Amino acid sequence: MTTMKLALGPLLYYWPKETVFAFYRDAAGWPVDTVYLGETVCSRRRELKLADWIAIGRDLARAGKEVVLSTAELIESDADLRAMHAVAGNGEFRVEANDMAAVRTLAGKAPFVAGPFLNVYNAGTLRLLAGLGATRWVAPVELSRDGIAAVVAEAFDGIETEVFAYGRLPLAVSARCFTARYHNLTKDHCEFRCIDHPDGLALDTQDGLNFLVLNGVQTQSAGVQNLAPVLDEARAAGANVLRLSPQSRHMGEVSGRLRAAVTGSSREPPPASLPPACRRLRGYWRARPATSCRDRSRT
């Protein structure tokens, strides 16, 4: 049986340019196989231009990483479409399509990754995308272990399956910016406040449950998904690739511990908790409310 690969998902937060460059300089030394790059959340975030992402990609490729450029999760304007076309037509790296406009752009032209926002819930949809050139699909975060296994069973050999294994789950996207709203600003005049919140803006219920994280137009889970203790189940379900979603800290440690768990090189049991200090969150994996594993501790 081949070893599962580790993939560092696209950076979902907005960090200063130097921080981003430093993060990926470090990532070159982490035991991940694939690195997804690019701005997928908000077109107003322009600390890095596409050329910067490509420069980072070249450095990572030299370090032996497979590099994938990701397209935006939500396309609204002509500028968004142009940005998507620029990523899709980069001519150098494989592309993760996160919208059907991107799928159409890539179809028949270049192999692509079918991103987690394409809503692949069944083998019919997966076969269609594979026919258009998808070589890997990333399961939607809502799809359970059994759901993923059933799609894989009905699909065919040869397409890779990636699952969201570590990080805050991206749960929703909006035309509205909730970070701007928190700061009493409009989206068009947001002053790029996301940059003040390197791991998003924590949202609690009125009785103190750490519930969600506001990340501009995106809403995430507050709890951190961690499939490390169920890697055997992930393998059995057909997962070939584990996605680690970047957080501002601990990613080197997280990737190292997951790598050890995947290769079985560590004598320790798979880490039941990974930093930031949080209890496990894998409700969706068991087809249950994801919040059923409560995490009341601050990260």
Partner 1 sequence: MDQGTALSHRNPARMKLVCPAGTPPALQAAVDNGADDVYLGFKDETNARNFAGLNFDDRSLREGIDYAHRNGTQVLVALNTYPQPASWRKWQAAVDRAADLGVDAIIVADAGLLAYAAKTHPSLRLHLSVQGSATSHEAIAFYHEQFGIKRAVLPRVLSVEQAEKVVSRTPVEIEVFGFGSLSIMVEGRCALSSYATGESPNTHGGCSPAKAIRWQQSPQGLESRLGGVLIDRFGEEDHPGYPTLCRGRFVVNGDTYYPFEEPTSLNTLELLPQLQAMGVAAIKIDGRQRSPVYVETVTKVWREALDDCAREPQRFRVKPAWQEALAGISEGRQCTLGAYHRPWK
Distance CA 48, CA 38 (A): 9
Pick between residue 23 and residue 121 the one whose CB is nearest to partner 1.
121
225 binds partner 1 (CB under 8 A): no
277 binds partner 1 (CB under 8 A): no
127 binds partner 1 (CB under 8 A): yes
13 binds partner 1 (CB under 8 A): no
Pick between residue 25 and residue 181 the one whose CB is nearest to partner 1.
181
Helix pair angle (78-88, 50-62), 10° resolution:
20
3-class SS of residue 35: strand
3-class SS of residue 234: helix
- Residue pair 103/97 in contact (Cβ under 8 Å)? The answer is yes
Residue type for position 160: E
Distance CA 288, CA 270 (A): 22
Pick between residue 207 and residue 268 the one whose CB is nearest to partner 1.
207
101 binds partner 1 (CB under 8 A): yes
291 binds partner 1 (CB under 8 A): yes
Chosen residue from 28, 50, 86, 150 binding partner 1 by CB under 8 A: 150
100 binds partner 1 (CB under 8 A): yes
Chosen residue from 25, 49, 104, 296 binding partner 1 by CB under 8 A: 104
299 binds partner 1 (CB under 8 A): no
164 binds partner 1 (CB under 8 A): no
Chosen residue from 219, 240, 245, 255 binding partner 1 by CB under 8 A: 219
239 binds partner 1 (CB under 8 A): no
Instruction: Provide the sign of the torsion angle of the four alpha carbons 8, 13, 15, 17, taken in this order.
Output: positive
Distance CA 123, CA 222 (A): 31
- Residue pair 195/16 in contact (Cβ under 8 Å)? The answer is yes
- Residue pair 34/70 in contact (Cβ under 8 Å)? The answer is no
**Residue span binding partner 1 (CB under 8 A) among the ranges 69-77, 160-168, 236-244, 272-280:** 69-77
Q: Choose among 140, 144, 139, 118: nearest CA to 129.
A: 118
**For tokens 């799609």, what's the residue?**
151
- Interface ranges with partner 1 (CB under 8 A): 73-78, 80-81, 99-101, 103-105, 117, 119, 121-129, 140-143, 146-147, 150-151, 153-154, 169, 171-178, 181-182, 186-188, 201-207, 209, 211-212, 214, 219, 221, 283-284, 287-291
